[in-house]
Structure 1
Amino acid sequence: MMRYFDDFELGEQWPIGKTYTMTKDEIVSFAAKWDPQPFHVDEAAAEKSVYGTLTACGTHIQAVVLKLAQGLPHETAVIGALGYDEVRFHQAAKLDDVLSLTIECIETRPSSSKPDRGIVRNRHTLVNQAGDTVFTQTTTLLIARRGG
């Protein structure tokens, strides 16, 4: 099912059914390439850190959000992403955390210059297995209108 700008409703939420587990191999390999801080890549150093265990780097967490968002029950007529705002790391994503995502529509507005599209802002909330918020961000998307 394709969703267009006209189909989005303010306050609508989509809890993603799939989860993502933060494994040692993935935390270390991702961070080794993109953010090789000791608490991301060295288990002994991570145990001595304020976290007490390996933690995923921020870029890895954002990648997990994008991966989980693919689990939406619908396809969206996205023309393009306009930005990620209000990016917040509330707490570390730790080794063996099981993460889940909920997406909420927080704003819709038709384009003022092109009637065939509109702008949708969604809030992404990533939580761990205890229900603690790990990460939030607001995503702004340009989405085609139905019949546009």
Structure 2
Amino acid sequence: MATERPAMGRWFEDLTPGMVIDHAVTRTVTEWDNTQFSVMTMNPQPLHLDQSFAETTEFGQRVVNSLYTLSLLIGLTVYETTHGTTVANLGFGEIAFPAPVFHGDSIRARTEVLSARPSSSRPTQGVVEFEHQAFNQHDDLVARCRRSALMRRRPA
């Protein structure tokens, strides 16, 4: 007989519009993070991988792959929002990277619940729209995205 794993994230009922969560976990981005992610995703962009090339750009150094930044942002938010309580990501929208991330930047995340509604076809679930934001150690906004998730309702 399988036992149900306890949820660590919040249930649908716990995620009310207007709620803001400043996430506890932060992460310093390393050169290895950027290189590994770029190579694994077959992204040969020299701005991410070639220091000599990057020094000739307006940034003067390599820039962290923006899709790594997005992945990190979502990952930093999971434990306090959807860990064990999400059924599926339904979509991502309005993704923006207003400032670059560099090796050595420490990233923190904030989430706002934009909307929450019961599912019309799944009575034990609901749809929540989040806005996730990532900030560096200087409090510069470096990434922002909206995410819709199908969430479990609290068991009866």
TM-score with structure 2 setting the length: 0.85
> Which residue does the alignment assign to 2:15?
8
Structure 2 alignment gaps of length 5 or more? 1-7
Structure 1: segments with no counterpart, 5+ residues: none
Residue 10 of structure 1 aligns to a residue whose secondary structure is coil
Report the Cα offset of residue 96 of structure 1: 1.4
Distance 1:62 1:45, change over 3 A: same
State the alpha-carbon separation in 1 of the partners of residues 84 and 117 from structure 2: 16
- Equivalent runs, 1:44-123 vs 2, <5 Å: 44-72=52-80, 75-123=83-131
How much does 1:76 deviate?
Answer: 4.7
The residue matched to 1:72 in structure 2 has which SS? helix
Q: Which runs of 4+ in 1 moved over 3 A?
A: 73-76
Work out the CA distance in 2 between the residues paired with 1:89 and 1:120: 23
SS of aligned partner of 2:38: helix
In 1, Cα distance between equivalents of 2:75 and 2:9: 19
Aligned to 1:28: 35
Q: Render the CA deviation track for 1:89-148: whole Å, top value 9, x for unaligned.
A: 111111211111111111011112222211000110001111111000011011122236
Q: Which has the larger displacement, 129-138 or 14-23?
A: 14-23
Residue aligned with 2:117, SS: strand
Match of 2:47 in 1: 39
CA distance in 1, matches of 2:32, 2:149: 33
1:122 touches 1:138 (CA, 8 Å); kept in 2? yes
| Letter of the 2:29 counterpart | M
CA contact (8 A) 1:124 1:136 kept: yes
Tell me what 1:140 maps to: 148
In 2, the alpha carbon distance for the partners of 1:92 and 1:58 equals 8
Identical positions, percent: 27
> In the comparison of the two structures, how many residue pairs are matched?
148
Amino acid at match of 1:28: T
Q: What is the Cα-based RMSD across aligned positions, in Å? A: 1.9
Determine if contact 1:40/1:56 at 8 Å carries over to the other structure.
yes
CA separation of 1:71 and 1:47: change in aligned 2, threshold 3 A = farther
Partner in structure 2 of residue 18 of structure 1: 25
